[in-house]
Every structure is written in C-alpha cells, then in structure tokens.
C-alpha cells in the first residue's frame, strides 16, 4: 500500500494528461509510420504501413537539415536577446521610482498579452516598405525590410523578443526582489560596484531562476511559427527565412501529407524532450521537488 500511494496521488493528473496529451502523441507516432494522406482519410485509397519510410524521407531531405540548422541558430540568438533585454529591464525595474515602474510593467504586460498573430501584423505594418511608420520616420520610404535574409531575421527576431521578454523580466524581477537587501548592502560596503554586484552577487543567487527561464525560452523559440509565417508570408523570399515549424506545416500539413507531417512532429517532439530533460534536472537542482 505504501508503494502504491505515490501512484494514487498521481491518478487525478494522469486522468487528465493521458487522454489529453498521451493519446495525441500516441496517434502522432502511429500516423508517422503510415502512408496517410487525404485520400486515405476519406477512404479513397487503402492505408499502407511504410515503417520508417516517412522518417527516411524527412532525414534524407537536405532542406530539412538546412532549416533545422537555421532554426537552432535563430532560436539561440533569440534566447540570448530575450534574456539580455529581460534582465536589463528587470534590473531597471528595481532602480526606478514607482510611476515609471508601473508604466514599464504595464507596457510589458501589454506586449505579453498581445496575441502572436496581432503583434506580428502590427510589426509588419510598422515596417511596411511604403506606408510603414519606421520608414517614414527614417525617411527611407520604399526600403523593403523583408528582402535581405538577415535583415528579415532581425525584424522578425525583434518581434519575437518583444513578445517574450516580459516573462523573463517579471521572473527575474521577482527573483531580485527576493534577494535580501543585507547581502547587497554587504557587497557595497565591501566596495563592489553596481556592475560587480550584479555579476558576482545577483547572478549567482539568481542562477536557478535563470536556468529555468533559459530553458523555457529555448523551448518557446525553437517552436517559433506565427511570427515567421505571418511576417515573411510563409518563409520569406525563396524560403530563406523558414524555420522547422513552418517547414513542417508547408511540406506536410498544407499538402495533406499527414504521415510525413507526423514524422516531422515526432522528430520535433524528441528534440524538445531532450531539452525538457535538462529543464527537469534544473528544477531538481533548485530543490523544487517534482
């Protein structure tokens, strides 16, 4: 009975998670080993088992590797940028008087609350070649921000960071507030500058929080879809700005290739699972028992 008790406690969560999460993942895995397209769904053609055929197709496509590499690079840059912006503003929040602090918090919450679709569209309008506010302010009307690959990634990346920095900022702000004032006071009495106090005192004390925020950002940025899909019209000129999720959608779901799409889905799930393992390890280290 004693051995069974932990499982008993897990039962309510399992009752929700198994049907809502386990079953779709199971179906995803199942579909990924079949040749399963619209013709098979509506019964026009029989469903055939192709084993690892879909996986071989995906992994054998050089475009998949190119997009995967691009996704990893873009996500890495986004994580660094989000963290830098979030951390800088979190420190700023602790230093300013209440009214600017409230204004900054509200602005951040607004960005956080904006649906990805709406935010992307608004940013796209801001950077419109002919009518955009940015071009009109800079006096470079007609400049197309979505032409060069890296400029495009820059604008889309800024949108993503705008969407995701509030979480980092508020988490780190809460963390900084929790640092006892006496510690910082001791540091300054010992002659530490603000810069040193930040790197030598705050960062080590915030390390567990930072780890969690980083891993959450990795998962978030790796799965990026809406901003790229909306702002670059599905991957940019000649698909140069495509990321893994957009690629999966276009090569698979847009063409009703459900089997192939499921295989890409399974591969993405596995990659994210590995990252999640690191996340769980990080949670353990902070002493937050699961």
Interface contacts to another protein, rule CB under 8 A: 4, 7, 14, 18, 23, 26-27, 30-31, 34, 36-45, 47, 57, 129, 142-144, 146-147, 233-240, 250-251, 254-257
Nearer to another protein, 52 or 84 (CB): 52
**CB atoms < 10 A from the CB of 161, how many?**
23
Nearest to 263 by CA among 65, 103, 36: 36
- Shortest Cβ distance from residue 209 to another protein (Å)? 34
The smaller minimum CB distance to another protein, of residues 116 and 237, is found at 237
Beta carbon nearer to another protein, 164 or 245:
245
For residue 224 the two structure tokens come to 């990026």
Q: CA 132 to CA 138: how far, in whole Å?
A: 10
Report the alpha-carbon distance of residue 2 to residue 7 in Å, rounded.
Answer: 10
Give strand pairing partners of 35.
48
Any bridge partners for residue 48, and if so which? Answer: 35
Compute CA distances 109 → 91, 143, 175, whole Å.
17, 31, 18
Nearer to another protein, 87 or 231 (CB): 231
Q: Where are the beta strands (DSSP E) in 41-159?
A: 48-49
Question: How far apart are CB 254 and another protein at their closest, in Å?
Answer: 4
Q: How far is the CB of 156 from another protein (least distance, A)?
A: 14
Q: How far, CA to CA in Å, does 136 sit from each of 70, 88, 148, 159?
A: 31, 29, 20, 19
Give the pair of three-digit tokens for residue 176: 């900084």
Query: Measured from the CB of residue 268, what is the shortest distance to another protein in angstroms?
Result: 19
Q: What is the dihedral of CA 81, 82, 86, 88, to 10 degrees?
A: 0
Phi, psi of 257 (to 5 degrees): -90, 75
Strands, E assignment, the chain = 34-35, 48-49
- Residue placing its CB nearer to another protein in the complex, 40 or 216: 40
Between 43 and 180, name the residue whose CB sits nearer to another protein: 43
In angstroms, give the least distance from the CB of 88 to another protein: 34
CB of 219 to another protein, least distance (A): 26
d(CA 238, CA 245) in angstroms, rounded, equals: 17
For another protein, give the closer residue by CB, 85 or 246.
246
Q: What's the rounded Cα separation, in Å, for the pair 192 and 200?
A: 9
- Supply the minimum distance, in Å, between the C-beta of residue 42 and another protein: 4
């Amino acid at each position: 009975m004693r051995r069974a008790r932990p499982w008993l406690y897990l039962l309510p969560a399992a009752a929700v998670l198994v049907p809502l999460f386990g079953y779709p993942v199971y179906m995803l895995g199942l579909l990924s080993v079949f040749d399963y397209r619209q013709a098979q769904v509506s019964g026009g053609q029989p469903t055939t088992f192709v084993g690892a055929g879909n996986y071989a197709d995906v992994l054998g496509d050089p475009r998949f590797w190119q997009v995967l590499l691009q996704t990893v690079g873009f996500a890495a840059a986004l994580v660094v940028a989000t963290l830098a912006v979030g951390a800088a503003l979190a420190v700023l929040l602790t230093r300013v008087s209440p009214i600017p602090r409230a204004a900054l918090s509200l602005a951040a919450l607004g960005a956080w609350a904006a649906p990805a679709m709406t935010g992307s569209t608004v940013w796209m309008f801001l950077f419109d070649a002919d009518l955009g506010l940015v071009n009109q302010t800079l006096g470079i009307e007609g400049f197309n921000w979505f032409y060069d690959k890296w400029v495009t990634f820059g604008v889309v990346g800024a949108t993503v960071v705008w969407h995701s920095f509030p979480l980092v900022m508020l988490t780190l702000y809460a963390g900084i507030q929790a640092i006892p004032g006496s510690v910082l006071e001791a540091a300054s009495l010992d002659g530490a500058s603000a810069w040193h106090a930040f790197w030598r005192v705050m960062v080590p004390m915030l390390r567990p929080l930072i780890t969690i925020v980083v891993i959450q950002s990795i998962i978030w940025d790796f799965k990026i879809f809406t901003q790229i899909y909306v702002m670059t019209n599905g991957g940019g000129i000649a698909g140069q700005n495509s990321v893994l999720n957009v690629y999966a959608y276009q090569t698979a779901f847009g063409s009703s290739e459900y089997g192939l799409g499921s295989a890409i889905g399974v591969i993405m799930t596995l990659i994210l699972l590995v990252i999640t393992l690191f996340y769980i390890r990080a949670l353990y280290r902070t002493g937050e028992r699961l």
